[in-house]
C-alpha cells in the first residue's frame, strides 16, 4: 500500500521528539483528532516552535488532501499523554466537534486510507481498541473527535482499504 499523503508540511523540530520507532517504542494505536482550526492554521501552529504541539498527519475537510507533518519514526506531541504519544500515530482532521459539515466523504475516505496504511505498517488491529479518539486517551481534556464522528462508517472504510490495498 503506497503512502496516502501527498503533502509534506513539516512541523517545527521543537514540537516533537526525534526517535527510532518502532524499534524504540512500538506503535500500538492511531489517535483520531479534530483540529478546531482550519487546515492552514493548523499547519502554522505545528510550524511555530512556541506551540509545543504536533501530529503525524493532517487531513483537509473539503478535498481529503493529506499532509505529513512528523515522520512516523518520531514522536508527535498530540495526545496529551506521553505514554500514548510514544506508542501512537496522531491524525488531525480539519474541523470542529460541533460542526459536522466538516466531516466530508473526502475527509473520511482519505483518512481511512491513511489509517489502513498506518495499521498495516505497524501491525495495528483496525478496531476501536486500537483506533481511538483523542477523548479516549487516559487523562484527556479534549472532546474530539466528538459526537458527530461516525466510528462505524470510518472503521468500515479502514477495513475496506486494508482489504483492497487503499
**How many angstroms separate the CA atoms of 166 and 155, rounded?**
13
d(CA 5, CA 42): 16
Give the total residue count for the chain: 166
Query: Are the CB atoms for 140 and 134 separated by under 8 Å?
Result: yes
Distances (CA, A) of 25 to 32, 68, 82, 88: 19, 20, 12, 9
CA 17, distance to chain mean position in Å, is 16
Cell numbers for 3, please give them: 503512502
Q: Output the nine-digit C-alpha cell for 143.
A: 472532546
Choosing from 92, 101, 129, 136, the catalytic residue is: 92
Per the structure block, which three cell numbers stand in for 83?
Answer: 505514554
129 is catalytic: no
Give me the active site residues, please.
92
Amino acid at each position: 500500500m503506497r503512502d496516502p499523503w501527498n503533502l509534506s508540511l513539516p512541523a517545527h523540530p521543537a514540537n516533537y521528539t526525534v526517535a527510532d520507532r518502532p524499534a524504540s517504542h512500538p506503535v500500538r494505536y492511531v489517535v483520531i483528532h479534530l483540529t478546531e482550526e482550519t487546515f492552514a492554521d493548523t499547519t502554522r501552529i505545528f510550524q511555530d516552535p512556541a506551540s509545543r504541539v504536533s501530529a503525524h498527519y493532517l487531513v483537509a475537510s473539503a478535498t481529503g488532501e493529506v499532509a505529513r507533518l512528523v515522520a512516523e519514526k518520531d514522536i508527535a506531541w498530540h495526545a496529551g499523554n506521553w505514554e500514548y504519544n510514544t506508542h501512537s500515530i496522531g491524525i488531525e482532521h480539519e474541523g470542529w466537534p460541533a460542526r459536522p459539515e466538516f466531516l466530508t466523504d473526502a475527509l473520511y475516505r482519505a483518512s481511512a486510507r491513511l489509517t489502513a496504511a498506518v495499521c498495516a505498517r505497524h501491525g495495528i488491529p483496525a478496531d476501536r481498541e486500537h483506533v481511538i479518539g483523542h477523548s479516549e486517551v487516559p487523562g484527556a481534556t479534549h472532546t474530539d473527535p466528538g459526537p458527530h464522528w461516525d466510528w462505524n462508517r470510518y472503521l468500515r472504510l479502514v477495513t475496506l482499504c486494508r482489504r483492497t490495498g487503499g
